[in-house]
Structure 1
Amino acid sequence: MLTQMASVGVNVSGNVSAMICRGNFTAKELFSEMAASSFSKALLIFSTLLTGITLVIFMEIVVYVSIKVPYGARRGYTIFLLGLFPVFSVTSLASIYVPRAAIVASWAASLYLSLGLYIFILLILAHFRGIDTMVRRLQDVEITLAQPPLACCCPCCCSKIKLTHQHIHRLRLVVLQSALIQPLTLFIASILWTDGLYIPAYISKTSAFLYLTLISLISTLVGVYGLTVFYKVSIEPLKKYWIKEKFIALKIVMIVPNVQTLLLAILVRSKVIKCIAPFSASLVSSIIYNALVICEMFILIASSRYVIYKLRQRNRRRRESSLLELQNMIVPQHQTGCTQVKFNQGSKDEINDVIASDEMKAPEGSRIVRYIETDV
């Protein structure tokens, strides 16, 4: 149970009335208190609408990805990563509506994010079509281990390596530790919270919140480091798959909520965020945090929608030019009843994501050899 904090308020006539600030509200009690404040009602409506819009945009993107990306692992991984935004938005909204469920909602969001970190690694491997192919394509590429956020300031201490199977497995373990430690810390926090030993946004030498938050933040930074090394070696070969934009979005979801939690806790400790009767400072901090997360997830999903829109426009232009190139490369062979299309490496890259069967007519009795690859 959250601790109760008391404050004294003075009315206009000068009479002093005691007002209790507490954080252990039920949903019914919270709504009855918020109904008296226009700002509180506006915040609830705004958060709800923003979460709804985030869900609608997510559904639209899922439909687009389901149509454009062939059935398989890449489609599933991409949709799972895009699901980070609505999941964080919905769990944050649930934390605003039901304050007592904030720990459970945070645990669910952290569990999904932890799986998302490992899914991102699997998505990169899927784009390379396996570890063996990745090692073969990048065997001559030197990788520097001086990467943010941990080793960017120590290039002299970090040697360069060439990618091997062992290095890939080690990088996967670095990311996997974050996928395991973050949900574990929140699970421990939920157990301590039920016994009154874990108080969100409360910092002291004996505070479980302080130590669990630091462990989670350090684990996140180590996980980001592993992802960054993996990303840096993959950015050029996978440039057409928009891997940079996906990594930036994932990194924001990883780091920003953790940093916000710690900063808000410091503001509560320094009494910048104060008790606003009848809400305790920790509850006010929790509402601010969740409202910020909802806004951030909306911005990220809208940015993803914009990137996919630009991708659609680019693919349309490439399709038109590539279809014309395909028509010029087709050489009918009436003797064999087959149409041969000769590709060099450059033309393969240019003809990606082209479906020729519906838009280009082949000579009667012939076949068209197609090379199809999507960029999502």
Structure 2
Amino acid sequence: MGDQLGNTSSINSSESGGCSIGDPYTYQFFPNMTAASIALLVITSILSIVTLVIFLESVIFIQKTLPSTRRKMQVTWIIGLFPAYSLTSLLAIYVPRAHFIATIHSSLYLSVTLYCFVLLIFDYYGGFDAAIVLLSEDTSSIAFPPLLCCCVCCLPKVKVSKRFLRIMKRLVFQTALVGPIVRFIATVLWTDGRYKPGLIAFDEAYVYLNTILIVSTVLAMYGLQAIYKVSLTLLKEFRLRPKFLSVQITLLLGNIQNAFLGILVSTNVIKCSDPFSSKTRANFLFNFLIIIEMFLMSIAARFLFRTRTGNLNYLISRPSLKLTQKVARDDDLETAKKRESQVPNNNVTTGKKSECLDGKAKLFEYTLSDNSVSVSLA
């Protein structure tokens, strides 16, 4: 998955023809810009500002509309992925030598976003415990991309148990933990001249740190794919598929474009133009494309996350499950009744109004219809 698995490296190249090596300073960059470059700079600035405005408007809607603080935070962080990428890319265009720092920060944001998306999926169920019960009847293949997608025929299906969901959740969580640590080390080494992005050699820290990032991100994507696949049918009305694609496309766009432009630089298709190295020109093109793409992605995300459809409800039950009210204190029931009038809950079992009075079903217990399983969520 390349450098942009945090997008942690600049596009590297070997220079020819006497062109400068390395990114220019701003006092070298702006005086040598052509009319076309200035026009592109204006366009990217406008698009980044519009992307930020779309995000801020969506945040206002989310804070006023979504049912819980937990979901507000999760959705806000996820849709913040697009302005985060856009603004860091804009910074890298204005200050070419900040390209590495800018991509480090966008990569850190993406690492946390993957885990936030997992938490959002569980929140749609009503919490992790609710997801355990609602998925307790299901089985799932473990042949998920990007690790085991070629082993569909030879790998058995496993029961979607608490242990299965917890392992997959931890696989995603580790990238939110490992990513920042590795990138912090890379930044420290980079300031000391010991980390050279794109330079592949056995004695270079880049090779080993980037390998750790690749493994971490692949494991995280595997865990995310597993949770997404087992939830796809039950959470269909929550528009889970397009929401997942919006995050996945963002990850893939950076990886594919970064790798492709790196090939163009190494094959001398993107040539240097003094005082700009081929690496600098490729970085400029990469950031320009990212800004355009994040503008389009932010518009798409607005129709997915900034809506009442698929964002207000909880999946409270399924046809084979029923809810039984637990004994609770009067004040708990009173609080729950107030919340019931404010938060619409979705009950797919019957046409009757759901008895579940809050998102995590704290006042109820799930029971399989054949009474073989009873799990308390308190």
Q: Which amino acid aligns with 2:65?
A: K
Q: Aligned residue for 1:56?
A: 53
Q: 1:129 is matched with which residue: 102, 122, 126?
A: 126
Q: Contact 1:111–1:183 at 8 Å: present in 2 too?
A: yes
| Aligned-partner Cα distance in 1 for 2:178–2:154 | 27
SS at match of 1:24: coil
SS at match of 1:347: coil
Q: Contact 1:135–1:164 at 8 Å: present in 2 too?
A: yes
Q: Aligned residue for 1:347?
A: 351
Q: Contact 2:25–2:96 at 8 Å: present in 1 too?
A: yes
Q: 1:156 is matched with which residue: 149, 153, 178?
A: 153
Is residue 2:106 matched to residue 1:88?
Answer: no
Note closer, same or farther for the CA distance 1:253–1:314 as it changes in structure 2 (3 Å cut).
closer
Identity of aligned residues (%): 37
Q: Contact 2:23–2:276 at 8 Å: present in 1 too?
A: no
Q: Contact 1:5–1:20 at 8 Å: present in 2 too?
A: no
Q: Give how far 1:306 is off.
A: 3.4
Q: Give how far 1:134 is off.
A: 1.0
SS at match of 2:158: strand
If asked which structure has higher relative contact order (CA below 8 Å, sep 6+), I would say: 2
Which structure 2 residue ranges, 5 or more long, are not aligned?
Answer: 1-9, 312-346, 360-378
| Aligned-partner Cα distance in 2 for 1:145–1:132 | 21
| Aligned-partner Cα distance in 2 for 1:313–1:74 | 14
Q: Which amino acid aligns with 2:64?
A: I
Structure 1 stretch displaced more, 192-201 or 57-66: 192-201
Q: 1:225 is matched with which residue: 205, 222, 226?
A: 222
Q: Contact 1:96–1:290 at 8 Å: present in 2 too?
A: yes
Report the count of equivalent residues. Answer: 315
Structure 1 stretch displaced more, 215-224 or 95-104: 215-224
TM-score, normalised by the number of residues in structure 2: 0.74
SS at match of 1:127: helix
**Bigger Cα Rg:** 1
Q: Give how far 1:254 is off.
A: 2.2
Q: Aligned residue for 2:26?
A: 27
TM-score, normalised by the number of residues in structure 1: 0.74
1:1-376 matches, cutoff 5 A: 8=17, 20-34=19-33, 37-202=34-199, 208-209=205-206, 212-307=209-304, 345-347=349-351
SS at match of 1:21: coil
Q: Which amino acid aligns with 1:142?
A: T
Structure 1 segments, 4+ long, off by >6 Å, are 2-6, 369-373
Q: Aligned residue for 1:331?
A: none
| Aligned-partner Cα distance in 2 for 1:344–1:306 | 24
Structure 1 stretch displaced more, 142-151 or 198-207: 198-207
Which structure 1 residue ranges, 5 or more long, are not aligned?
Answer: 9-18, 316-342, 352-368
Q: Which amino acid aligns with 1:139?
A: S
Q: Contact 1:189–1:198 at 8 Å: present in 2 too?
A: yes
Note closer, same or farther for the CA distance 1:314–1:179 as it changes in structure 2 (3 Å cut).
closer
Q: Give how far 1:191 is off.
A: 2.9
Q: Contact 1:185–1:212 at 8 Å: present in 2 too?
A: yes
Q: Give how far 1:206 is off.
A: 5.7
| Aligned-partner Cα distance in 1 for 2:241–2:95 | 36
Note closer, same or farther for the CA distance 1:84–1:312 as it changes in structure 2 (3 Å cut).
same
Note closer, same or farther for the CA distance 1:145–1:251 as it changes in structure 2 (3 Å cut).
same
Q: Give how far 1:178 is off.
A: 2.2
| Aligned-partner Cα distance in 2 for 1:215–1:282 | 24
